[in-house]
Amino acid sequence: MAKARYYETMIIVRPDLAEEARNEVVDKVKGWIEEKVGGTIETAERWGMRKLAYRTQKTNFTEGDYAYFIYKGEPEKVNVLDDLFHITAEVFRHQTFRREDLEKKAKKKESNITVEAPVTSEESAE
C-alpha cells in the first residue's frame, strides 16, 4: 500500500438539472472520494454556474455547475473516480491532478516540528 497523496479534482455538472439534483451529484462525488478512494477531503467548494469557454459538441451546453475538491487519497484507487465519472451522465467534464506542491508543504511542515530534549534532574538543579 502506497503513501497517500494529495489530489485535486474538478467536475462540471450538467446545467439542465435542478439545483437539488446538482447538489446530490456533488454529495455523491464526496461520498465516492471518501468510500471508493479511501480519501479524506481537505477542501470542497461549489463555484456554481459558470460560462464555458466554448459550446460542448454532444450536449450543446454553454455553461455548467463547477465543483472543486482537494483530497488526500491512495494512488492505486484514484483511477476509480475516473471510471465512475465516465458512467455518470450528470458529470459531463472532469479532471484530476496530483498536487505535489501540497505534498511538499505537508512534508516541510512535518519536518519543522522539533522535539525538545527532556530536562534531567541534574540540569534542573543548576
Hey, where are the domains in the chain?
5-125
pTM over 0.75: yes
The whole-angstrom separation of Cα 8 and Cα 71 is: 7
The mean pLDDT value for 19-47 works out to 94
Residue 43: per-residue pLDDT = 93
Beta carbons of 94 and 32 less than 8 angstroms apart: no
Q: What share of the chain is helix, strand, coil (3-state, %, to 5)?
A: 35, 30, 35
The whole-angstrom separation of Cα 88 and Cα 86 is: 6
Residue 84: per-residue pLDDT = 93
Q: Count CB neighbours of 12 within 10 A.
A: 20
123, pLDDT greater than 80: no
Average pLDDT for the chain: 87
Q: 102 falls in which pLDDT band (50, 70, 90)?
A: confident
- Of residues 125 and 2, more confidently modeled: 2
Closest CA to 88 of 4, 31, 34: 31
Beta carbons of 64 and 90 less than 8 angstroms apart: no
pLDDT in tens, 8-26: 999 999 999 999 999 999 9
Closest CA to 65 of 50, 85, 44, 87: 50
Share of the chain above pLDDT 70, in %: 87
Q: 59 falls in which pLDDT band (50, 70, 90)?
A: confident
Q: Which of 28-32, 42-46, 55-59, 78-82 has the lowest mean pLDDT?
A: 55-59
Name the fold adopted by 5-125.
Alpha-Beta Plaits (3.30.70)
124, pLDDT greater than 80: no
